[in-house]
């Protein structure tokens, strides 16, 4: 595999993370200027970039032995995680409680589940890397960096468009997460 192919794979793997990042930006409050705004925009990229790099590494070392077992349920795991978080976002969009800060939007458990759900497909990519490539660390660096940049851009885009209509955006974001989960499930089943 050459560098251009790795970049294309990285961009393709980061598309689910981008869509989720946009929904996080849509549903979150506009961050105040300064350091907190920088963290607000970078945090999803850090989570998603890390897990998009970690999963191919795990897949690379797990190899073909576990691939058949993982592929039988990976789509279900991604669907359940995304549907759960999407459902919670939809429920929260109807809640009268105002968020006091971005903690609810970027809580540790929520971000961890989203990062795992959007990076499960990267595990299978890591298995294929074991067959075609010897330089796994270059590949995971490119995948992680690409996902970090694309996810950060997604949060910024979502935040710019969703700040005025937070509850509607959170509802839309929840629906989008559920649809992404359904897409993953349907593609795997068909």
Residue 114 maps to a domain: yes
**Is residue 187, in this structure, part of any structural domain at all?**
no
Task: Answer with the residue of higher pLDDT: 70 or 101.
Answer: 70
Give CA–CA dist 114/1, Å, rounded.
29
pLDDT of residue 137: 92
- Alpha carbon of residue 101 to chain centroid: 21
Residue 91 lies in a domain: no
Distance between CA 99 and CA 106 in Å, rounded? 12
Task: Answer yes or no: is 183 within a domain.
Answer: no
Nearest residue to 174 (alpha-carbon basis) of 66, 82, 99, 97: 82
- Tell me the residue range of the domain where 153 lies: 3-76+99-165
Planar angle of CA 147, 2, 53, nearest 5 degrees? 25
Instruction: Indicate the pTM of the whole model.
Output: 0.73
Q: Is residue 15 part of a domain?
A: yes
Does residue 21 lie in a domain region?
yes
- Classified as helix, coil or strand, 16 is helix
Q: Name the domain count of the chain.
A: 1
Would you say residue 188 lies in a domain?
no
Q: Give the Cβ contact number of residue 122 at 10 Å.
A: 29
What pLDDT is attached to residue 102?
47
Highest mean predicted confidence (pLDDT) among 6-10, 57-61, 137-141: 137-141
């Amino acid at each position: 595999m050459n560098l251009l192919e790795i970049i294309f794979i990285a961009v393709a793997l980061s598309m689910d993370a981008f869509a989720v990042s946009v929904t996080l930006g849509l549903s979150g409050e506009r961050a105040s200027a300064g350091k907190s705004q920088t963290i607000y925009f970078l945090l999803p990229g850090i989570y998603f970039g890390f897990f998009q790099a970690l999963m191919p590494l795990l897949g690379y070392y797990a190899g073909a032995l576990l691939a058949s077992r993982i592929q039988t349920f990976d789509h279900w795991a991604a669907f359940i995680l995304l549907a759960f978080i999407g459902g919670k976002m939809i429920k929260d969009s109807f809640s009268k409680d105002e968020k006091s800060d971005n903690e609810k939007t970027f809580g540790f458990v929520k971000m961890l589940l989203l990062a795992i759900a959007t990076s499960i497909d990267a595990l299978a990519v890591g298995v294929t890397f074991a067959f075609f490539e010897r330089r796994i660390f270059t590949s995971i660096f490119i995948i992680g960096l690409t996902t970090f940049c694309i996810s950060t851009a997604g949060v910024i885009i979502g935040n710019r468009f969703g700040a005025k209509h937070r509850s509607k955006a959170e509802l839309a974001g929840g629906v989008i997460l559920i649809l992404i989960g359904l897409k993953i499930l349907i593609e795997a089943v068909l």
